Amino acid sequence: MKKVFASFAIAGMLFAAACGNKAEEVTEEVEVIIEETEEAIEEATEAIEGEFEEVVEEVEEVVEG
C-alpha cells in the first residue's frame, strides 16, 4: 500500500512539476521524492519481513504443539 501511495505521490509531483517553469527545481524535487520513496519502501519491507518471521514462528509453535 505504501508503494501505491509513493507512486501516486511521485506522479503528482511530476504532474505539478510539469506545470512549473524551472527544470532545476523539478530535478531536485524528484530526487528528494525518490529518496523518500526508497526509504518508505525499505521501511515497509523491513516491517513485512518482521511480521512474516513472527507468523512463521507462531505457525511452527502450533505445529509442534
What is the structure's pLDDT at 38? 92
pLDDT, tens only, 12-51: 877 876 676 665 666 788 888 899 999 999 999 999 998 9
What cell does 36 get? 523518500
Q: What is the DSSP string of 16-47?
A: HHHTSS-HHHHHHHHHHHHHHHHHHHHHHHHH
The per-residue pLDDT for 45 is 92
- Residue 3 gets which letter from DSSP? H
